[in-house]
Amino acid sequence: MSTTADRAASIETRNPATGEALRTYAPHDAAAVSALLDRATAEAARWRTTSFAQRAERMRAAGAALRARKAELAALATREMGKPLAEAEAEVEKCAVACDWFAANGEALLRDEIIASSATRSYAAFRPLGVLLAIMPWNFPYWQAFRAAVPAMTAGNVVVLKHAANVTGCALAIEEIFTASGFAKGAFTTLLVGSKAMEPVVLDDRIAAVTLTGSEAAGSSVGALAGRAIKKTVMELGGSDFFIVLADADLEQAAETGVKSRFQNTGQSCIAAKRFIVEESVYDRFVEAFVAKAHALRVGDPADRATQIGPMARHDLRDELAAQVKDTVAAGARLLLGGEPLPGPGAYFAPTVVGDVRTGMRMADEETFGPAAAMLRARDADHAVELANSSRYGLGGNLWTSDVARGEELAARLATGNVFINGMTASDPRLPFGGVKKSGVGRELSEFGIREFVNVQTVWIGPARITDRS
């Protein structure tokens, strides 16, 4: 029989739709962590010597394994963090697409680059760093991990994952996928440890670099530790993405896309539209359409394929969102829809729309992580840009206008890592992903992401060319 101390040290997962306990896991102690890091280090030395063809073969196998287990993996995510089932299946498929894309393109992205110099021949080569520590959140339990791991492993690194405790089953399933796809043990490792146990892991000499997706506070803490140890980091942190609607926009399409962007994954996404900045002359019409579409969203059991809004991942997250909405309304905003937790054992919160939100109110200044949308009025396009840039975050944003050339001009003035004109923000293996300001540093995905965790090595071959005068 376990002692109270043992139970306190365990990792427990719970179904946020019902509150029921799912499973308890024993965390790795310091000795186990050290043994796993030793194994990862040994595999890093071997994996870096494999050819791109071998790496691509394994990645394609991982993509196939994800598709073969899609139903099982999706159901697990739905149980652990409440993601609506159809969205969970789409997330697994997206991971498979990333495996396929980097398998097909990794070698070309990391091909030696010939650079003319005083040498007979000189070039830049892209060498793996070694063991990458990935600290990942719960909201996209598969995609966040694969988004970090696939390019890094394609480049010849190995990955150690510290996942959020409430999706421990998903974390272990990811390791199983890689092992079943022919990767050696140590190529991808899941550590079962709490956040408080991470400091010595970040500082450990066996860890070459760190990538983190999470809160601003977590990024600041981990970044400081990695900086102390002089280790490369990539940080994808919070976001309060704008959704600018100009007077000449297709309001119906903008409202439909805006609702999907705000409420996808029950609003628990760093790149979800959160601050809807609408030009004054069309504000009322857009808000009316948005509220009608949000009101029609189906809230229910996330395991039901028809459900569009499931529970939030934890009750404390729901309580924080409720406080943000309440404080914003108390400051003078107007509650247009929802605004309250729903009764019952699950961590449900009604789809919510708050109008006439202004800078200085919590929903304008803070990240709202859940099914609640803030509507802000803009006098004109210049004011809309000013409001968009007023946030300390700069991850992404949307801009809706029928004048695409004007949209591109405005995009150049927006302080954000990405701008989607007349479309919904989404990460794509082919495009760089990341933010500025308090939303993080570095990039994931694409050519830019795969080169974040490599040693860009200059190779100079003599003799020197006598005619060179530089």
Domain boundaries, the chain: 4-237+439-458, 241-421
Residue type, 319: D
236 noted as active-site residue: yes
Q: Residue 266 corresponds to which tokens in the numbers above?
A: 């029950």
pLDDT, tens digit, 9 for 90 and up, residues 393-446 = 999 999 999 999 999 999 999 999 999 999 999 999 999 999 999 999 999 999
Tokens 């050519």 correspond to what residue?
Answer: 447
**Which pLDDT value is given to residue 43?**
98
95 noted as active-site residue: no
**pLDDT at 167 > cutoff 60:** yes
Please report, rounded to a whole number, the percentage of residues in the chain having pLDDT higher than 90.
96
Please work out, in degrees rounded to the nearest 5, the angle formed at the alpha carbon of residue 167 by the alpha carbons of 99 and 434. Answer: 50
Catalytic residue among 43, 87, 236, 444: 236
Please report, rounded to a whole number, the percentage of residues in the chain having pLDDT higher than 70.
97
Question: Positive or negative CA dihedral for 71, 74, 80, 84?
Answer: negative
Q: At 457, is the pLDDT very low, low, confident or very high (cuts 50, 70, 90)?
A: very high
Q: Which CATH architecture has domain 4-237+439-458?
A: 3-Layer(aba) Sandwich (3.40)
Q: How far apart are CA 159 and CA 170, in angstroms?
A: 16
Asked if 291 contacts 336 with a C-beta cutoff of 8 angstroms, the reply is yes
| Residues linked to residue 235 through DSSP beta bridges, in sequence order | 212, 441
**Which pLDDT value is given to residue 9?**
74
**pLDDT at 8 > cutoff 50:** no
Q: How far apart are CA 172 and CA 191, in angstroms?
A: 9
- CATH annotation of 241-421: 3.40.309.10
Say if residue 463 is preceded by a cis peptide, omega within 30 of 0: yes
Q: Which of the 8 DSSP states describes residue 466?
A: T
Catalytic residue among 89, 175, 270, 367: 270
Question: What is the value of pTM for the model shown?
Answer: 0.96
**Which pLDDT value is given to residue 5?**
37
